[in-house]
Amino acid sequence: MELNSATFIGDLVEAYPFLLDHLATISPLFSRLKDPEMMAQMGSIATLEMVAEMGGIKLPDLITSISEEIGKVTGKAVDRDSSQDEADAKEKMESLKSIIMDLHSGKSVEDVKQRFLDLATEIDSSEIARMEQELIEEGTPEEEIKKLCDVHVEVFKESLDKKEAIGVPPGHPVHTFMKENEVLDGLLAALSGLINEIGSGDAGKLYIERKKDIVRLMDTISKVNIHYLRKENQLFPLLEKHNVSGPSQVMWALHDDIRGMMKGTALALEANEFQPARDRIDEMVRTMKDMIYKEEKVLFSMSLDNLDEDEWSRVGRGEDEIGYAWIKPDEGWKPKEEAPSAPTEGQTGKLRLDEGYLTMEQLNFMLRSLPFDLSFVDENNKVAYYSATDDRIFPRSPAVIGREVKNCHPPKSVHVVEKILEEFKAGNKDVAEFWIQLNGRFLHIRYFAVRNGEGRFLGTLEVSQDITDIKKLDGNKRLLDWDGM
């Protein structure tokens, strides 16, 4: 028997008589169904939809309760109308989005909080993530979603607080993130305590005395950037593969806000501006604590729901390269060894590199697009490659391929070239660099020993770059300053 809105209560009770007692526990009004005469009249005409309306409860809640009771008593699962579940989930999502958009239009948290509590006693982190994703896809600017993020958590906090603590083995990436959060929470408490100890008003003298302690704490707290970098480069890309990008984009924007707060605080401390520094610290502490909450109540649960063991192993293998904030991972969980994988759709026919796949055309023109000249000399001292850029500093022609490198340099400098290659092959040196001024331009020339993973010498890479204009740069020009001109 399938449970859906059209299931007749008489058929249901005939199949599962124990449900009469269970229904009475859901609503006192359902006790009337125990009356044989009432059941005789209602059984063949009252659907579950009608029964739910009679009892003043929501149909999905009634179906869920009945399904769970049948499973508990009989030990067997009962079929449910999945289309109804999908419709209910869609309706719930639209209601959630409506609440958030009302907040966006200016309504207070208190105005909408009861609507949310009426909607659901529990909300899953994935639903918050999906809601933010859909809002962005529907055109709500990410900046607006970011502004509302704190309000989202405030509205959903009561439900999120009921969620069980995340259980992952020591050494798992999520466990390491949470260990870092413990340290950060303690550092933020210490910073707040120090600021409160100084007080406000005529606290200038005491502030100057404790400034070194504040700066030292701020320097330690700034290591949180490593924590954020691992999220941005480890978790977010894999979540995006599961079409979960909205929450990642919002959280990354908040990371940048926190970085700005740390920088602003450092400037205020340097200028001995106590009250501005205090205000910035208060805002920074509050935002960082909120971030800890969002990670542990939303992001980590959402990540565990979406990523499989192989993906967590990829996260684990990449952690050491980025580093850790304050702590090292515990012993225990270890990432699986990476097994060679067959090319996926879109990778067939491409060159497999250490990280990623490229076609020959992509690789060739990528190298030609670099803002410097490349030349590669193999382990036998013969020219194997040069980048055919449109404006090479030092001209090359195809005839140079296969030529002894010593024959590519003036006789007076050949002995130096040979000495560099000898040192590279012997493993005594890895880099040799020079700079010259030629025709009014400042040129930087570097040689790099190229070795494989086992340290075997493969050849020498020459990189020549015109840095005349680079040397003139000053100040800042950020990505956001780009205007396409």
Task: Round to whole Å and give the CA distance between 288 and 260.
Answer: 12
pLDDT at 446: 95
403 in any annotated domain: yes
pLDDT at 81: 59
156 in any annotated domain: yes
pLDDT at 385: 94
pLDDT at 432: 95
As given in the structure block, the two tokens for residue 338 are 């990476």
The pTM assigned to this predicted structure is: 0.61
349 in any annotated domain: no
187 and 272 in a single domain? The answer is: yes
Give the sign of the dihedral formed by CA 43, CA 48, CA 49, CA 50.
Answer: positive
263 in any annotated domain: yes
pLDDT at 125: 56
Residue whose token pair is 């003036």: 410
DSSP state of 109: H
Orientation angle between helical segments 309-322 and 173-198, nearest 10 degrees? 50
pLDDT at 332: 92
In which element (H, E) is residue 356 found?
strand 356-358
Fill in the amino acid letter for 381: N
- Identify which of 258, 264, 273 has the alpha carbon closest to the alpha carbon of residue 208: 273
Low-confidence ranges of the chain (pLDDT < 50): 120-121
115 in any annotated domain: yes
As given in the structure block, the two tokens for residue 120 are 């659901």
44 and 97 in a single domain? The answer is: no
> What's the CATH code of the domain at 248?
1.20.120.520
Any long-range contacts for 128-133 (C-beta under 8 Å, 24+ apart)?
Answer: 128/152, 128/156, 128/247, 128/298, 129/244, 129/246, 129/247, 129/298, 129/302, 130/93, 130/244, 131/93, 131/96, 131/97, 131/100, 132/246, 132/247, 132/250, 133/243, 133/244, 133/245, 133/246, 133/247
180 and 296 in a single domain? The answer is: yes
478 in any annotated domain: no
Query: Pairing relation of β-strands 383-386 and 373-378?
Result: antiparallel
pLDDT at 251: 86
355 in any annotated domain: no
139 and 230 in a single domain? The answer is: no
Domain that holds residue 366: 360-472
Q: Give how many domains the chain has, as a whole number.
A: 4
Residues 276 and 268 sit within 8 Å (Cβ to Cβ)? yes
10 in any annotated domain: yes
In which element (H, E) is residue 448 found?
strand 441-451
254 and 315 in a single domain? The answer is: yes
366 and 424 in a single domain? The answer is: yes
